Amino acid sequence: MFENIGQFVVKHRKGVFIGYLISVLVAGVIGAGMFGSLKSQGYDDLGSDSAAVDQLLKSDFDTRDASVILVIDTLASIDDPDSVTAANDLLAKVAEEEKIESIVSYWNSGQESLKSFDGNAGLALVYFDKGLDSEQAAATAKNIQDTYDKESAGTRAYVGGIEVLYEAINGQIRDDLKIAEAIAIPLNVLMLLFVFGAAVAAGLPMVVALGSIAGSFFVLFLVTQFTDVSVFALNLITGLGLGLGIDYALLIVNRYREELARTNDVNASVIKTVTTAGRTVFFSGLTVALVLASMILFPQYFLKSFAYAGVSVVLFAVLASLIALPATLALLGHKVDKFKIRRGDLNPKESGAWSSLATAVMKRPILIIVGTVTLLVALASPALDAKFSQVDDRVLPASNPAAIASDQIRDRFESQIPAEVLVPISVSIADVNEYAKTLVADQNVVSAFTSDSFIEGETVSPLPPEQAVAASQAHHRITLYTDVESRNMDAKDLILRLRAIEPPVEGTLIGGQAAIFTDSQAGISDNLPAVLGWLTIATLIMLFLFTGSAILPIKAVILNMLSLGATLGVLVWVFQDGNAMWLVGDFTVTGSLDTSTLVLVAIVAFGLSMDYELFLLSRIKEEHDNGADTTTSVSAGLQKSGRIITAAAVLIAIVFACFMTSGVTSIKMLGLGISFAILLDATVVRGLLVPALMRVAGEWNWWAPKPLRKLHARFGIND
């Protein structure tokens, strides 16, 4: 199979190369159309009870969240005549803006919940015209923020709300991505020149990276025509596209140089490279793609987006590495080493530091195993205290106007995000009120509104007609005001307690932002066993097909779990506990970690770890298949792959580490988590633990029961 691919590429090198360039250009131009369709939401489980409540509130009760929330600080009592005049003048100007449907404020409604605790500020809830698309809503919100978030005429206005927050996060990510690329690309160019040793060879990773990134943009453009895609997927595409371009180009070029030095025949060297290193790239890419595809099992489109993006970028990187890169090498021939940067022979050496390290490790394998496992467990220990939450305004820099406005709302006003309960209309209003009383009895529920009553503690007060909330044709509505934030574990505990209270009838639903967070967390935790099963089974199958061993795949999964535990511990220590800001930059410490980002880091890091596992095992297996014993195979395999693995890890770590310059905390987490995980894996795990464990296992590394050996003989791809 791979030999045939190599022969085809060598024979049609010019046509393949030109066709590839045209495809990249077309895919990039078409794919650029997806940028305006990406969204910054996607953390909610749209199949949950809370999502059903949200939909029913919009369809049956005609309720919706305010698009923009203004905090108007009058710098004195908001009931003073001058304050009233200043606030109304400001709101009159806002109301004249295009695409504004209505404004509900303290000054035109008299709602005490819209008045600050100190009495010096009021809220104005701005509703946009119905039917605005995401781009129009974002532009309108940005205009209001730019125009009115300032001090003027006796007021200081702060502009926040859901649309302002989404636009702030999107804009911050777009700007941060430019900065990260401006840092990562020059650094990687310098590193590539050093690692590849020649200017021409150093440019070859771009052959793979451009194709994988452009192809992924094209796929995401198609996906956005049918479903929602998160803007955060852009970071994964650029990071993985550059990273895998470097990984696979290093492997391919290194093997090409090795074969060229041995045969001095360009065509034969390209074919042999595709047959050997190409096979490794194929298995590696397919394994990484299967790992990333596991995120499709989660209900949140935030995580699904990374499945679409991750699978696309990996498969296009594999395609470019098997087709375009060999065609380029066939065209370059011996010129691959033109414009040398480093002196001396650039061809891989048969012995050196890596074989010496492997030999030293295998002399004391038990000591190395105990020491490295102890280190990994120590790094993982902070994870025992991990607390989970969901992205909110505090992912933005504290100086961002949207974050400042959100702090004003959080610190100075009652919660504006109540829990909502819908009870089937078959229940009498008297029973609804009794049920509401049991809900208010919870320690974190302050009060409740039903269609005819206000309930606070044991007191039930009738509502005047103008304050009553009419029932829909299908449901009564209970609105609960609580004293907990809506996106943390306290909110989750509250919703679970409320749902544990026996409702008056089956079909009663509890929703609101706290319930949305609860259901989102459940959507992750409930599907996590299936995802872990997918990861484990896919990894075991792919590594078995690659090696024919039943032992090596199990070892790889266990080591990956140890490495991920260490990475999680570091993320808890940094982002939950607020340490090492000197390294990652300033951020708001909330005492918790975003669950979705942790899942993303874990799965991407797991996939990249398998990348390096296959790089190492491919050379060890090749040596063993050629007749060497396990100790010699490990030593020679690490010598021939260790430099590639370490260089690739450093280069891809630079790409992701640059994400730590982002002002968005979840992007900082992504950057630190993946860069730390791959560096740890490429050094401690692949350089120490793998050789030590393989030395202890000896020839048992290659054992498989007879039925599996027959299976491998039939389905394993060896050429």
pLDDT along the chain (719 residues), means of 10: 84 88 89 77 85 89 84 89 90 91 88 86 90 81 92 88 85 82 82 82 86 90 87 82 85 86 86 87 89 92 90 92 91 84 61 78 91 94 88 86 90 78 91 91 87 82 70 85 80 92 92 89 91 91 86 90 93 93 89 88 88 82 84 84 81 86 90 92 87 88 83 64
Q: Do the beta carbons of residue 396 and residue 402 sit within 8 Å?
A: yes
Do 377 and 408 sit in the same domain of this protein?
no
Whole-angstrom Cα distance, residue 597 to residue 479? 31
Determine, yes or no, domain membership for 210: yes
Whole-angstrom Cα distance, residue 409 to residue 411? 6
Q: Do the beta carbons of residue 524 and residue 300 sit within 8 Å?
A: yes
CATH number of residue 660's parent domain:
1.20.1640.10
Determine, yes or no, domain membership for 688: yes
- Secondary structure E strands in 342-442: 388-389, 419-424
Determine, yes or no, domain membership for 478: yes
Render 418-471 in DSSP notation, one character per residue: -EEEEEETTS-HHHHHHHHHHHHTSTTEEEEE-SSEEEETTEEEEPPGGG----
Do 468 and 610 sit in the same domain of this protein?
no
Do 211 and 155 sit in the same domain of this protein?
no
Contacts of 114 (CB under 8 A, 6+ apart): 104, 105, 106, 122, 123, 124, 125, 413
Determine, yes or no, domain membership for 395: no
Q: Do the beta carbons of residue 155 and residue 90 sit within 8 Å?
A: yes
Buried b or exposed e, range 521-534, using 16+ CB within 10 angstroms:
bbbbeebeeebeeb
Q: What angle do helix axes 233-263 and 325-332 make, rounded to 10 degrees?
A: 40
Do 289 and 325 sit in the same domain of this protein?
yes
Phi/psi class of residue 661: alpha, beta or left (left: φ > 0; alpha: ψ in -120 to 50)? alpha
Q: Do the beta carbons of residue 224 and residue 34 sit within 8 Å?
A: yes
| pLDDT given at position 246 | 83
239: nearest Cα among 695, 667, 700, 705: 667
| pLDDT given at position 531 | 92
Count Cα neighbours of 69 within 13 Å in the Cβ-side half-sphere. 24
Question: What are the structure tokens assigned to 380, written together?
Answer: 């993982």
CA angle 674, 228, 54 (to 5 degrees): 110
Domain that holds residue 318: 1-37+196-344
For residue 256, give the amino acid letter.
Y
For residue 412, give the amino acid letter.
R
Would strands 453-456 and 459-462 be described as parallel, antiparallel, or unpaired?
antiparallel
Whole-angstrom Cα distance, residue 578 to residue 591? 8
Do 684 and 649 sit in the same domain of this protein?
yes
**Element counts in the chain: helices (H) and strands (E):** 26, 13
Q: Do the beta carbons of residue 641 and residue 615 sit within 8 Å?
A: yes
Do 706 and 587 sit in the same domain of this protein?
yes
| pLDDT given at position 352 | 65
Count Cα neighbours of 358 within 13 Å in the Cβ-side half-sphere. 25
Give the end of a domain, one of 166, 186, 220. Answer: 166
Give the end of a domain, one of 458, 486, 514. Answer: 486
Contacts of 188 (CB under 8 A, 6+ apart): 242, 246, 651, 654, 655
| pLDDT given at position 469 | 66
State the chain's maximal CA–CA distance in angstroms: 93
Do 464 and 557 sit in the same domain of this protein?
no
Give the end of a domain, one of 435, 470, 486. Answer: 486
For residue 189, give the amino acid letter.
V
| pLDDT given at position 278 | 86
Buried b or exposed e, range 258-285, using 16+ CB within 10 angstroms:
bbbeeeeebbebbbbbbbbbbbbbbbbb
Do 325 and 444 sit in the same domain of this protein?
no
User: Could you give the C-alpha distances from 162 to 43, 393, 412, in angstroms and in order?
Assistant: 14, 9, 18
Do 280 and 309 sit in the same domain of this protein?
yes
Question: What pTM was computed for the model?
Answer: 0.83
CA angle 117, 123, 126 (to 5 degrees): 165
| pLDDT given at position 40 | 67
Determine, yes or no, domain membership for 691: yes
Do 381 and 451 sit in the same domain of this protein?
no
Q: Do the beta carbons of residue 316 and residue 31 sit within 8 Å?
A: no
Q: What angle do helix axes 690-697 and 365-380 make, rounded to 10 degrees?
A: 130
Determine, yes or no, domain membership for 500: no
546: nearest Cα among 642, 436, 629, 621: 621
Do 464 and 545 sit in the same domain of this protein?
no
Q: Do the beta carbons of residue 444 and residue 526 sit within 8 Å?
A: no
Determine, yes or no, domain membership for 498: no
Do 226 and 329 sit in the same domain of this protein?
yes
Domains: count for the chain: 4
- Three-class SS of 641-683: HHHHHHHHHHHHHHHHHHHHHCCCHHHHHHHHHHHHHHHHHHH
Render 138-185 in DSSP notation, one character per residue: HHHHHHHHHHHSSEETTEEEEEESHHHHHHHHHHHHHHHHHHHHHHHH
| pLDDT given at position 438 | 92
72 phi, psi to nearest 5 deg: -110, 105
Q: Is 425 exposed, middle or buried (0-12, 13-18, 19+ CB in 10 A)?
A: middle
Determine, yes or no, domain membership for 174: no
The length of the chain in residues reads 719
